[in-house]
Amino acid sequence: MSDHSSRFETLRTTSQLFRETTSSFTSNLAAFLFLSLLLFSFRTTVEDGTRHVTSFIDRDPSLKALLSRLDLSGTHTHAHDPHAHRHRVTSPDSLPRTPPPSPPKAFSPPHSQRERERKKENENENENENETIGLEKAQDVDRIVDFQFFIKGLELGRRDAATLFFLVSFLSAAYGWVILGFLVTYSLVLGIVFITILNDLLGRFSSFLGTVWEGSRLGLKRLSGFILMRWAVRDALTQILGLWYFGEIEDQYSFFKLFVRLKLMPFSIMSPWIRGYEKEISGFLFTWFLADTFVAFIFAVDAWVAIVDSRRTGREIMKEGCYLISTMLNQAIQIKCLEAIFCGSFVRWALARICGRFFAMVFQSIVEVYFMVAWLIFYFATRYRDASLQGRRFGRRELEGLIEGLR
């Protein structure tokens, strides 16, 4: 394909984009199957690890009882007396003093009258000070009682506290490794996809190991920050929706199992299904599917924008990505809808029922790489259309310039 401008010019419809994607995918099938294997391995590790953690908690009655006994909602704290802060602490100094009877004013000298007035003022000041001291002491007592009731509400012994600390530390360390694995895996996969398709468009031959090395280095160098940002957005979205739908759950054990699954949803399509909360989970999954599809649509071509120009900030990358999508909006919506269907939980459930869970996960890993290729072809098509609108060319010379700029 010597004339790349005419090749991109034909990519106007969704069917033409998929035809070009299929051609590039099949011509580099070995490389893309290798990338599918990487995604499959990562997802299998995450989902199997999640099942092991939840099943371990189910099999350990002491740990299950500990999680069920935790009460962080404050139900064991005592109710405050609304008039507690009005009580005064009685002390001998704060008792009212009855002044001795005074002689009639007619026989009182002027200086004795002034002395009595000064004594009354001093007594009033002392009474106000005693009230202030009593209020502070009452507040201190309330704080001590609150803390004691909080400790009694947890009812954690030394052994339970050590078990809880170990569980939290283990889950935190495991979650950190999952984030690192996600970052490395997707950086490698996206970088290798970019180099493979670029070599295919230019007709350049490169060995399998050479392509993997060059793509891995490129992805780790230019995509790590973007992938971390995309994960942070999806994680925040998942937690907000989780609090909205599951914030009223009082069973701490069930809430903990939901929390573990929710934290891992940005890394896989594993559903947080727990018996007894079918209504809440169904609403959550429907809302999360729509919101996550929209977020993924916004980020659809941002990875390729970040690779081509590493000097852009995150805001500039998203702005450029949204602009390129708007140039071929109808095609982008169709691609995203098909991707959401084939990579979603419903297709996986159907394939797992018919062909088994292993086949379903392998199929969706291959389809995920296929749509990465489709979005990259879409990116080049939008770049060509944008250049044509501005009276510029986007062909072989520009693609070779991308290769030179990546080195």
pLDDT tens column, 220-256: 999 998 999 999 999 999 889 888 888 777 777 777 7
The answer, yes or no, to whether residue 331 has pLDDT greater than 60, is yes
Q: What is the pLDDT of residue 77?
A: 40
169 shares a domain with 31 = yes
**pLDDT above 70 for 211:** yes
Would you say residue 78 lies in a domain?
Answer: no
Identify the residue whose tokens are 């573990």. 260
pLDDT computed for residue 88 by the predictor? 40
Instruction: Indicate if 27 and 171 belong to the same structural domain.
Output: yes
Q: Considering the domain boundaries, does residue 240 fall inside one?
A: yes
- Reported residue count of the chain is 407
Sign of dihedral through CA atoms 18, 23, 29, 31?
Answer: negative
The yes-or-no verdict on residue 61 having pLDDT over 60 is: yes
pLDDT of residue 270: 65
Q: Long-range contacts for 132-140 (Cβ within 8 Å, ≥24 apart)?
A: 133/89, 134/87, 134/88, 134/89, 134/90, 134/91, 134/94, 135/85, 135/88, 137/89, 138/84, 138/85, 138/87, 138/89, 139/85
Q: Are residues 271 and 179 in the same domain?
A: yes
Flag whether 95 is in a domain.
yes
Residue 266: inside a domain: yes
Clarify whether residues 293 and 360 are in a common domain.
Answer: yes
Region 115-141 average pLDDT: 51
- Same-domain check for residues 338 and 402: yes
- Res 83: pLDDT: 41
Residue 116: per-residue pLDDT: 54
Asked, for residue 357, whether it belongs to a domain, the answer is yes
Cα of first residue to Cα of last residue in the chain, in angstroms, is 24
65/114 same-domain check: no
Same domain for 201 and 259: yes
| Averaged pLDDT for residues 360-364 | 93
Which of 137, 154, 171 finishes a domain? 154
77 within domain boundaries: no
316 with 344, same domain: the answer is: yes
Q: What percent of the chain has pLDDT over 90?
A: 37
Which pLDDT does position 376 carry in this prediction? 96
Residues near 105 by Cβ (< 8 Å), separated by ≥ 6?
113
Residue 192 lies in a domain: yes
| Helix 208-222, helix 224-246: angle, nearest 10 | 60
Instruction: Please count the structural domains in the chain.
Output: 2
Q: Residue 79 falls within a domain, yes or no?
A: no
* pLDDT for position 117: 54
- Whether residues 260 and 381 fall in one domain: yes
Residues 284, 182, single domain; the answer is yes
User: Quick one: average pLDDT of 68-87?
Assistant: 46
Per residue, what are the HEC states of 342-398? HCCHHHHHHHHHHHCHHHHHHHHHHHHHHHHHHHHHHHHHHHHHHHHHCCCCCCHHH
Higher pLDDT residue, 264 or 318?
Answer: 318
One domain for residues 181 and 301: yes
Q: Rounded to an integer, what distance in angstroms lies between the CA atom of residue 292 and that of residue 295?
A: 5
Answer yes or no: do 122 and 209 share one domain: no
* Domain final residue pick, 154, 183, 206: 154
pLDDT, tens digit, for every residue of 145-198?
444 433 444 455 677 677 778 878 888 888 899 999 999 999 999 999 999 999
Q: Which domain holds residue 88?
A: 84-154
